[in-house]
Amino acid sequence: TQLLEQSPQFLSIQEGENLTVYCNSSSVFSSLQWYRQEPGEGPVLLVTVVTGGEVKKLKRLTFQFGDARKDSSLHITAAQTGDTGLYLCAGGESGGGADGLTFGKGTHLIIQP
C-alpha cells in the first residue's frame, strides 16, 4: 500500500508571511497532484506535476516534484486570507483511474488577517 504523508497537519500564520507544506512518500509516483478544498465544498485541482525536479508556478503558489518523484512541496509567497483551506496532495500511478490515486490526509491552512 502506497502512503503519502503531509506535513504540517495544521498551520496558522499571518497574512503576508511565506509558508511551505510538504508531501512525502517512500513510493515513486508517475504524477503528483495538489488540490485545495474550502469548507463545505469538494477539492479543486490546482496542479499536476509529472517530471522529477519539475517546478510549476500558479501566481503566488510554487509546486515542486522531487527528483526521485517520491515527494513534493507547495510554497506560498505572501499568503492571503483567501489561501485558507485544506491542501491535499495525491500521487498517481501511470494509466490508472481513481483506484490508482493515493491521497494524503491534508494540511489545514489558516491565514489570519
Partner 1 sequence: NAGVTQTPKFQVLKTGQSMTLQCAQDMNHEYMSWYRQDPGMGLRLIHYSVGAGITDQGEVPNGYNVSRSTTEDFPLRLLSAAPSQTSVYFCASTKTSAFNEQFFGPGTRLTVL
Among 23, 25, 35, 36, binds partner 1 (CB under 8 A): 35
Helix (H) or strand (E) holding 43: none
Distance in Å, CB of 80 to partner 1, minimum: 23
Nearer to partner 1, 28 or 45 (CB): 45
Q: Which residue, among 91, 111, 110, has the nearest Cα to 9 in the 3D structure?
A: 110
Site string for partner 1, 43-82 (x = CB under 8 A): xxx--x-x--------------------------------
Contact between 97 and partner 1 per CB under 8 A:
yes
Question: Which cell is 49 given?
Answer: 506535476
With respect to partner 1, which residue has the nearer C-beta, 79 or 85? 85
| Main-chain dihedrals φ then ψ at residue 99, nearest 5 degrees | -70, -15
β-pairing verdict for 10-14 and 107-112: parallel
Report the residue from 78, 96, 110, 112 that binds partner 1 according to the rule CB under 8 A. Answer: 96
Asked if omega into 113 is within 30° of 0 (cis), the reply is no
Counting contacts by CB under 8 A, is residue 39 touching partner 1? Answer: no
Q: Are 111 and 83 in contact (CB under 8 A)?
A: yes
